[in-house]
Every structure is written in structure tokens, then in C-alpha cells.
Amino acid sequence: MRHATVRTTPSLRWARTRVWACGAVVLLAGCTAADDPVATPPAAGCPTVERAEPDPDRPVVGLDFRLGDDLRTVTGTESVALTPDLPVEELWFRLIPNAPQSAGHRLTVESVRGDLVAGGGYVDAGAARGTPGGLYRVNLREPVPAGQTVSVELDFRLRLTSERTPAGFDRLGADDGVTWWASGFPLLTWEPGSGWARDPMVEISGETTAAPAADTTIRVSVPDDLVVLMSGDQAEPRDAAGGRRVWESHDPVARDVSVAVGQFDTATVDVRGTRVTAGVLPEADTSADELAEATAEAIGVLEGRFGPFPYPTLTVPLVSDGEDGGGEEYSSSILLGGTDAGLVVHEVAHMWFYGMVGNSQFRDPWLDEAFASFAETVADPHTHEEDLDLRGAVGGSMADFDDQDQYEALVYGKGAAALEAAREAAGEEAFDQAVRCYVETQAWTIARPEDLARALSGLEPALDVLVEAGALDRRDVEAADD
């Protein structure tokens, strides 16, 4: 995510002009235009940059949402088939709408069933008062060994408020003519190789999930005058009884999903195999065409640094043009509350860092946020240099920061500065190759700092910078050497 207050650049139009100008002088070093072929240099210590395939045994998730005629209530059923790589005795789900930052929204689990299911219950885990809890545990009749599939179904109800929540622009919301819910269902919180991520909710506004890439099918029933923009490759909607329309999509590698429903005007642009669909509300300052073009240009610029865009489709609903601004990354979808150029690039960069290269956003928030902030400098070569001197470590969990300002200064600002300084110390080409190696080898996993350290092995000056900034730990570097 990114708040409006973090690093803003003047306007969407400014970015478009600049990227176009860059294309006209493409021979200048460091200038990467949207039309450039995607470079795939061999990386030192990384013999191949072939992208890793997703785990064939990843979870299979079905989400069936129904937005009520009040446009504030979502009822749904979720099916999950999990084939764990470690034995499990229960299943855990994260109820993100019940986090303090989203206080006012409320997610409840109404029932749970399955051959092995023996009931379930809430666990508080630091949830907002008035909500039933931050985690939901599904009890099993017997332990499930690694490699065996366990299937469950949950019915849930999400109640959205149109009141402002502590987070400001949030992943959940409702306003005139628009309703959106991302993480708006019980989210399977399984980390392959590690187990259940039962981290507490925190007061700081930010993501706290660790969720595996899952083969996900989404179905949404809404009043027939509204347009849906969501995660996954969307099919044409079909009419249903009662003045409704049903929209379906499929994302074979979704960690989490976003759904936005509104009176969207949409525009679609194709950029080297990725279909971008942007949507804006009738009163928006930006047109759908402008937003789709700006997003496509961000994709082009970032592909030049980080490799092919991770998804065949990307939806970009602008759900709020309010003072909060900000954006939230989801699998193959970006919720926008503003359109400043840096924001669009930041959220598009999250498709690589969060979407494809996953991380525990609770344990290692810098792995996606520092990289997404660093990526802003690819399109707009400004520097975060002054943030390198901030006191405090870039690394650490969401529970390690005192407040919102400190979290954003260290993880976004100092994190981006440390990556820039590491790139300078190692040499741009060598660093970019190593990062590319990290991206391709960790695709569709939940990466850890030692995976980055491994990709950077041999680039001691870069590792020294990242250790000095408290991003990497010496132990990460040593673990990478093993």
C-alpha cells in the first residue's frame, strides 16, 4: 500500500509526458521507455533467469460473493482445498476487515463445514473492539498429514461502513455509487514451509498477511447497473434473476483478492501481453483512458528493470478521489484512492513485490514496501538518499515500529534509500541482475530476507549497505551462504 503523504509527484499527466519524452531519447543510459524490449541479462550467481513455476499443489480457492441491494452488505461462501506441505491439526483464517485500522467494517463467519471439520472459533488477535476477532480457527476431527488435501467451506458476512476508518483510504469502503472490498473474506493464512501465520493485528495502517499463491475463482453477484473490476481474468458478465448480473474471474496465483463494484467508466489497453482495464467513477478528475495509459506505461518501465509483468491482466479501479489518496495492491488488481504518478508506479511495482514474490507482510514488511518505493525511482529518477541517515532499522516486523510515521519513514523511505545505495555500491548492472535473479527464483513463493541475501551473494558492498541499514541481518547473509 501507499498513503498519499508518502512521496508524491505532481500529477498523472506529468508522468505520462515524462515517460514519453524518455522514449524519444531512449539511447541515453538509464532511460527505459515503455517500448523497450524486456532485457534478460544473465545474473552473476544466478545461472538462469527463468521464472519459477507456481507450486502445482498450491491451494484451490473459490469465492462466491453477493453484494446486497443496500450496497453495504456482502454475503459469501468460500471453498478452500489445502494440500499442506506440513502436517496440520486445524486451519486458520485471517479476518482483515476486523483489524483496528478498518474499525467500522465487520467480517463474521456464519458457518463452516467439511468432511473433517469439527467446528471453529474466533481468536481475538488484537482485532478492533466490537468485532468477533482477527483470526478464525477451523477445528479438524483428525490431523491431516503433509500431502493430503483437506477441504472446507465457510459462509461469511461482511458489513461495510461508509464512515471514515482509522486507515484513511482503506481496502474496504463504500461511497455513493461505489463499493469495494479487498481481503473481504476469511483469508487462508498458510505459509508453505513454515505453517500458520497467526500474527496479531496492529494499530499501524499497513498489510499484515502471509498468504500463499492460490488457484482462485471468483464469482460476484451485483445489481445489474454496476460494473465489477476485480482480481483475475474477468469473463463477460451474465444476466441473472432479480435485476442482477454475475461477474466471474479466475486468477491461478492469487494470494488475496480485491473486488470493486461501481458506476465505472472503463478503458482497456494492451501492453505486451498484459490487458490493463482501468475504471473511474463519473465525477473523477482522471479519465479511464488516462489511467489505463499511465498504468500501461508504468508496466513498461518496470518490466525493463524487473522482468515480464507477472499477470496476463490487471484491473485498476479508482474508487475514491478524496483527500486520503493512497493505493492498495492486490493480486492482479490495484485499488486506487488517488492518481499521482509515483503512486501508480508504486502499486504496479507491488505486482512483482508482494504479488509474485510474496513475503510475510507482518514479519518482513520491507521486502515489498521498500522495493515498491525503490521502484518509483525507476520511472522518476529522484532519490531517497537523505532517508538513509534516519535512525532505526529498515527490517523488523509490523509490531516493531512505534507509530505510522516511523514505520513509513524507515520501511518506505530508508528502505528505498538503502536499496538505491546498495545498487550504487555494487554497480548498477550487477545489482539489477541479482535482483532480477531474486525475482525470478522466488516467483510465487513467500520469500525471506535470506533469499534476497542469497541472490546478492558475491556483491559484498551491497550486502554491507543493507546490513548497515538494518534491512538485512548478518544472520540472513550467513544463512544465504549455507
Q: Is 1 in the site for Zn ion (CB under 5 A)?
A: yes
Distances, alpha carbon 458 to alpha carbons 132, 324, 371, 474, in Å: 50, 43, 20, 14
Q: Is 479 helix (H, G, I), strand (E, B) or coil?
A: helix
Nearer to Zn ion, 2 or 7 (CB): 2
SS3 188: strand
Q: How far is CA 352 from CA 119, 309, 334, 345, 371, in A?
A: 37, 7, 13, 12, 9
3-state secondary structure of 102: helix
Smallest distance, Zn ion to C-beta of residue 353, A? 9
Interface with Zn ion, residue 351, by CB under 5 A: no
| Piece of the chain touching Zn ion by CB under 5 A; list 76-84, 259-267, 293-301, 361-369 | 361-369
Pick between residue 199 and residue 369 the one whose CB is nearest to Zn ion: 369
Stretch that binds Zn ion, among 2-10, 57-65, 118-126, 279-287 (CB under 5 A): 2-10
Residue 416 is which amino acid?
Answer: A
The amino acid that residue 292 corresponds to is: A
Q: How far is the CB of 4 from Zn ion (least distance, A)?
A: 12
| Rounded-to-10 torsion of CA 434, 438, 440, 442 | 170
Q: In whole angstroms, what is the distance from residue 338 CA to residue 83 CA?
A: 39
Comparing CB distances to Zn ion, the nearer of 6 and 46 is 6
Taking the complex as a whole, the smallest distance from the CB of residue 299 to Zn ion amounts, in Å, to 16
Nearer to Zn ion, 251 or 328 (CB): 328
Q: Which among 122, 202, 136 is positioned nearest to 167, based on CA atoms?
A: 202
Q: Which stretch binds Zn ion (CB under 5 A): 1-9, 151-159, 174-182, 336-344?
A: 1-9
Task: Compare residues 187 and 459 and give the one whose CB is closer to Zn ion.
Answer: 187
Min dist CB 258 to Zn ion, Å, is 14
Helix (H) or strand (E) holding 165: none
Q: What are phi and psi of 20, to 5 degrees?
A: -65, -45
Report the nearest approach of Zn ion to the CB of residue 442 (Å).
18
The one among 2, 7, 363, 384 contacting Zn ion by CB under 5 A? 2
For 30, what's the count of Cα atoms within 13 Å in the CB-facing half-sphere?
8
Site for Zn ion in 180-199 (CB under 5 A): none
Judged by beta carbon, residue 2 or residue 106, the one nearer Zn ion is 2
- Least gap, CB of 373 to Zn ion (angstroms): 7
Interface mask (CB under 5 A) for Zn ion, residues 144-173, using x and -?
------------------------------
Which CB sits closer to Zn ion, 237 or 415?
Answer: 415
- Using a 10 angstrom Cβ sphere, with 0-12 exposed, 13-18 middle and 19 or more buried, the burial of residue 28 is exposed
Whether the Cβ atoms of residue 309 and residue 43 lie closer than 8 Å to each other: no
Under the phi-then-psi rule, with left for phi > 0, alpha for psi from -120 to 50, and beta for the rest, what region is 427?
left
Q: Which residues pair with 246 in a beta bridge?
A: 221, 238
What is the distance between the alpha carbons of residues 307 and 55, in angstroms, rounded to a whole number?
A: 20
Please report how close the Cβ of residue 409 comes to Zn ion at its closest, in angstroms. Answer: 14
Contact segment (CB under 5 A) with Zn ion among 181-189, 285-293, 363-371, 463-471 equals 363-371
Q: CB-wise, 84 or 325, nearer to Zn ion?
A: 325
d(CA 231, CA 338): 19
How many residues sit close enough to Zn ion to count as binding (CB under 5 A)? 4
CB nearer to Zn ion: pick between 220 and 417:
417
Q: What residues from 364 to 383 belong to the interface with Zn ion (CB under 5 A)? A: 369, 372
Footprint on this chain of Zn ion (rule: CB under 5 A)? 1-2, 369, 372
